[in-house]
Chains A and B, each alone.
Chain A
């Protein structure tokens, strides 16, 4: 079992931290993991992306030309990564961030309206966990208990009180993802 995943969006959307939680969850699951961020000035706006690989066997390249799963959170990232999903692969996007049409017909496309849900929850910081929930529904590569352990590992202790909120957002994301 191996999943090669790209998460791409605006800086500040929680792209890197979502990847980090996914990587930690894989670690808790006993898998091999790699987390390779774009590390430019993206924190201050612009596009940010991270490649996360979870695998049962040792991981070779942390840098990939095509992905099993692409999680796309804004239009510039869609323009860049839509063509790089493997045929038969999965594309997950947030309805709010994408205005163009998705051209690929040879992949499975899912939509999570995470921005809307986060606004409804009056917690925009839940955005990336809603997306993560959507991913885990479609690609259940790590067990929920290990995601919670991963959250615990990747968040500093002073933020551990936020774990129930994150868990709720993940579960909500699992409910609202739909196939297009």
Chain B
């Protein structure tokens, strides 16, 4: 049995990446996620699995190194926090446009601008509605525990390779900085060049004898062909929406009121559910695990059986728009949030629920 360890969410991501058999990590330090690269540097995986760990000269350089690594069929990843992710968006759009798999981690902090280093969830729109230019989507996973920080590295890479699409782990300063028990996944060997050739025939592996010439690009100057590309992307996005939705329900069976929250907010809301139920209020919690694809059908299914929904987010009201679209006016949906790095407490959410919904 694997040993139970105690570590920060950021550290869990680093260990999980090595154990997954990632080929390369390219990053640039920023609070509150610097422990990801620090842990990777301390572990020195280049001496064991052969994984490259590189501190790039900037966030822009790091995401373009990921672009290059991904184009050669490698498991490449980067991580940053909100302002750094903004810098990476051009590269992310290119990677999505070139239909390449990679993993990006955003440990969100309060914005806008350089903002604060404290936790926030204000990059929801940026992540699930685009962020970079063009009609692309990021497969977005929202971990709510240190264990999920570790587990979602494999899930994110696997989904990225299944659909040739970038994946993002959207966490925040709470999940990144807190320590909890975690069981790390077992070690898997890195893919060999031959395995990559079989798995990703589009990969640019160099001009070895027998290799056909692969071209990886997001550029297509003929608009008719570019529309075809876009139609293919959209068909892929619909397939992802049909098959990859993940969510979790807490105390929803008999709920009269539903909290909707992701990531660290969902953890805090679990306590709010406990508090509410101790007062006799039948409150449940639905936690989207994939933010895109969004669990709209699951949320819609509660529209006719609850009296109201409260979308609880560390932002000014972003996911609440998707909740409202899902229920399409059938039930009252309100938002509660704190801004700029201030984190709500469980009782504060209960007070908001009483004021806005009950």
User: Taking beta carbons and an 8 Å cutoff, which residues of A are in contact with B?
Assistant: 20, 23-24, 27, 32-37, 39-40, 59-66, 153
- Assess the B270–A60 pair: CB atoms within 8 A: yes
B21 on the interface (CB 8 Å rule)?
no
**B341-354 interface code vs A (CB 8 A; 1 in, 0 out):** 00101111000000
Kindly name the residue among A24, A59, A65 whose own CB sees the greatest number of chain B CB atoms within 10 A. A65
Given A20-B179, A33-B180, A64:B118 Cβ within 8 A: no
Interface size on B, as a range, is 20 to 34
* Contacts of B177-219 to chain A: CB distance below 8 A: 177-181
B69 on the interface (CB 8 Å rule)?
no
Listed A/B pairs (27) with beta-carbon separation below 8 Å: A20-B179, A27-B4, A33-B6, A34-B179, A35-B178, A35-B179, A39-B31, A40-B117, A40-B118, A60-B267, A60-B268, A60-B270, A60-B273, A60-B274, A60-B346, A61-B268, A61-B271, A62-B174, A62-B178, A62-B267, A63-B174, A63-B267, A63-B268, A63-B346, A65-B346, A65-B348, A153-B6
Given A32-B181, A34-B179, A64-B345, A39:B117 Cβ within 8 A: yes
B173 on the interface (CB 8 Å rule)?
yes
A65 proximity list for chain B (CB < 8 A) = 345-348
Given A39-B32, A60-B270, A62-B267, A23:B179 Cβ within 8 A: yes
- Assess the A27–B178 pair: CB atoms within 8 A: no
**B268-284 interface code vs A (CB 8 A; 1 in, 0 out):** 11111110000000000
* Contacts of B1-40 to chain A: CB distance below 8 A: 4, 6, 31-32
Chain B residue with Cβ nearest A154: B6
Q: A20-B179, A35-B179, A40-B117 are in contact. List 11 more A-B contacts (CB 8 A).
A: A23-B6, A27-B181, A34-B179, A39-B31, A39-B117, A60-B267, A60-B268, A63-B345, A64-B345, A65-B346, A65-B347
Complex-state Cα separation, A60 to B268, whole angstroms: 7
Chain B residue with Cβ nearest A26: B6
In the complex, how many angstroms separate the beta carbon of A109 from the nearest chain B beta carbon? 23
Complex-state Cα separation, A79 to B177, whole angstroms: 25
B268 proximity list for chain A (CB < 8 A) = 60-63
In the complex, how many angstroms separate the beta carbon of A101 from the nearest chain B beta carbon? 26
Kindly name the residue among B31, B180, B264 whose own CB sees the greatest number of chain A CB atoms within 10 A. B180
Chain A residue with Cβ nearest B346: A61
Complex-state Cα separation, A66 to B350, whole angstroms: 14
Complex-state Cα separation, A174 to B174, whole angstroms: 33
Given A34-B179, A40-B118, A64:B346 Cβ within 8 A: yes
A20 proximity list for chain B (CB < 8 A) = 179
Given A39-B31, A60-B267, A61-B267, A27:B6 Cβ within 8 A: yes
In the complex, how many angstroms separate the beta carbon of A158 from the nearest chain B beta carbon? 14
- Assess the A34–B345 pair: CB atoms within 8 A: no
- Assess the B6–A37 pair: CB atoms within 8 A: no
